[in-house]
Structure 1
Amino acid sequence: MPAQALTRQRLHALRAALPETVDLLHRRRAAQIPPDHVDDYVALDWLKWDGGTLRLTITGANIHRQMLDLVDA
C-alpha cells in the first residue's frame, strides 16, 4: 500500500508503536514486529531492508526522536 493511502488513524498508530519497534530492532527481535507494521514502515521510509536486515532510516530516526521528545515533554 502506498504511504499516501494510509489513514490518519493508522499513521497515528504507527507513530505510537515506533518506539517499541525501534527497541525490538535494537534487541535483534525484528521478527516480533507485526508484518503489517513492517510493510507500512517501509512504505513510509521509516524502515528499510538492508541485506535481509530491517534497519531504521534517517526519516524513521527523526520520527522516533520526535516521539521520544513528546514523552519527555
Structure 2
Amino acid sequence: MPSSPSSSPSVRLERLRAALPATIEFLQRRRADLIDPVLIDDYVAINWFEWHGGALRLTVTGRNICAQLAIRAR
C-alpha cells in the first residue's frame, strides 16, 4: 500500500520541527511525562534527542535545529 502524503519524510520533519519548542519547554519544566511518546521515539530516531542516564536531552543536532528555528522566527 502506498504511503499517504502525510507520512512523507518532509511532512514528518516539519511536524517534529513544529513540536520542538513545546517539547523543549516540557523538558525545561521537568515534565517529560507530557511529551507524546511517539514524538520522543521520532526525536531519538533522527538524533535530535538522546537518553542519558534515564533522562531525555537534546543532542548537538537538536541544538542546531533549535538555533535554526530561532533564526526563522526573527
Question: Which TM-score tier does this pair reach, normalised by the shorter chain?
Answer: 0.7 to 0.9
**AA partner of residue 64 (structure 2):** N
Q: Which has the larger radius of gyration?
A: 2
**Hey, what does 1:10 align to over in structure 2?**
12
CA deviations over 1:3-56 (Å, ceiling 9, x no partner): xxx621111000111111111111111111110000000001100001110011
Q: TM-score, normalised by structure 2?
A: 0.84
Q: How many residues align?
A: 68
**Hey, what does 2:4 align to over in structure 1?**
none
Gaps of 5+ in 1: 1-5
- Tell me the C-alpha RMSD between the 2 structures: 1.5
**Hey, what does 2:5 align to over in structure 1?**
none
**Hey, what does 1:53 align to over in structure 2?**
55
**Hey, what does 2:21 align to over in structure 1?**
19
**AA partner of residue 16 (structure 1):** A
Give me the identity figure in percent: 51
**Distance in structure 2 (CA, Å) of the matches to 1:16 and 1:29:** 18
Gaps of 5+ in 2: 1-7
Q: Which has the higher contact order (CA 8 A, sep 6+)?
A: 1
